[in-house]
Amino acid sequence: MEKEFDIQEYMTKGVESIVASSLKATMRNPKESAFMVKFAAASKKASKKRKALQEAGEHIPPFLIASITSSCNLHCAGCYSRCNNATTDAEPVAQLTSDQWLKIFKEADDLGMSYILLAGGEPTIRRDIIEAAGTMQNIIFPIFTNGIFLDERYMDLFDKSRNLIPVMSIEGNKEKTDSRRGEGVYDRLIANMDEIKRRGLIFGASVTVTTENYKDVVSKEFIDSLYDRGCKLVIFVEFVPVTDDASHLAPADEHREYLKEHIASLRNEYQEMVFVSFPGDEKSSGGCIAAGRGFFHINSHGGAEPCPFSPYSDVNVKDSSLREAMHSKLLTALRDGDYLKEDHEGGCVLYEKRHEVEALLAN
């Protein structure tokens, strides 16, 4: 009889693997490795918290995605967040304050969450929240940023608070990056990387994979350019089309096979780097890990959502605890049903099933 897939066991091992890889990736940097040794101990303690709760019948995911602002300074081609009206140019109102976010971070720590991904909009617009995150040393905060606002003050903050790790969005070479993100963005990213290396810090790169750049972003030339500048983490995210005119950019099966094969080779060749692929790595997790299986999403106004690509919510953390939010009617229905486990065409099963999710929300 085939053993039933255990999401808690998978995610716990995944976190331990990331910590071990991070330790290995920072061994040449004494200050960074000293922090990772302390974090490894904290992560092990967090895993025990989650395991104890799991044995008591409550699943706690190790990850949280926090979109701390809906404001952004760029207009990237095909941005799902703008197409969903989740990101705007104007300074939004009624967003969570830094104190409210700090309360969420503390609740996450108490529950045993080890990683909180800070996203947006452009998260570095909210320096107050990022400074608050820096005080939570038991949690690593990857900051998914376009890199434009990474000034000297931010570099000083990253040096002081090693749990804050900038993950800069780059689409391959200068031509590919600037064509999607705007003229001059690539040069700014390269300047940031060089300054981060000069200061002895670490950073990651986030790559949106499309049919136009899927070969370039796993090429030795591109990865070498990141490696030589000190990059320790590369996250590949398949492009999710939210408009019909962008559907041609979504990777198909042949593109995914190419990515899978080359990412496996990269993991073998670049032992000091960590490579993560979404949704590619979900194949070994028994399906999509959103809606609280592996993570869930809090938007800038406090709504608890399955993931950033599935912006639906029936509870707000302004009115509930983080723990209550992750057990909302919507998130529970998605976890308990078959919505997350089925094969799907593109990068996001919940986006493809958005009408079914909307129907659940209406009930």
What's the pLDDT tens digit per position in 323-359?
A: 999 999 999 999 988 788 755 555 578 877 888 888 9
Confidence of residue 144 (pLDDT cuts 50, 70, 90): very high
pLDDT band at 80 (very low <50, low <70, confident <90, very high): low
Residues, the chain, total? 363
In our burial notation (b when 16+ CB lie closer than 10 A, e otherwise), range 98-127 reads: beebbbbbbbbbebbbbbbbbbbbbbbbbe
Q: What is the mean pLDDT of residues 181-210?
A: 94
Assess contact for 132 and 106: CB atoms under 8 A. no
Eight-class DSSP state of 216: G
Q: What span, in angstroms and rounded, lies between the C-alpha atoms of 10 and 278? A: 16
Q: What average pLDDT does the structure give for the chain?
A: 87
Contact 71, 86 (CB under 8 A): no
Show the tokens assigned to 142: 């990857």
165 pLDDT tier (thresholds 50, 70, 90): very high
Q: Where are the domains of the chain?
A: 7-362
Interior CA angle at 142 toward 92 and 88, to 5°?
A: 20
Distances (CA, A) of 265 to 172, 261, 275: 18, 7, 10
Give the 3-state secondary structure of residue 75: coil
Out of 23-37, 198-212, 334-348, pick the least confident.
334-348
Distance CA 233, CA 206 (A): 8
Give me the mean pLDDT over the 253-280 stretch. 88
Residue 342, helix vs strand vs coil: coil
Residue 173, phi then psi, degrees to nearest 5: -80, 180
What predicted TM-score, i.e. pTM, was given to this entire model?
0.90
Percent of the chain clearing pLDDT 90 (strictly above)? 57
Q: Is the pLDDT of residue 1 over 60?
A: no
- 3 pLDDT above the threshold of 60: no
Taking only the tens place, the pLDDT of each residue in 246-264 is 788 888 889 989 999 999 8
CA–CA–CA angle 4, 62, 72 (5° rounding): 125
Question: What CATH superfamily classification does 7-362 receive?
Answer: Aldolase class I (3.20.20.70)
Alpha carbon 209 to chain centroid, angstroms: 15
What is the greatest pairwise CA distance in the chain?
58
Instruction: Report in angstroms the alpha-carbon separations of 195 from 118, 122, 178, 221.
Output: 21, 20, 20, 21
Please check whether residue 184 is in contact with residue 178, taking contact to mean a CB–CB distance below 8 angstroms: yes
Other CB atoms within a 10 A radius of the CB of residue 206 amount to: 21
Q: Helix, strand or coil for residue 275?
A: strand
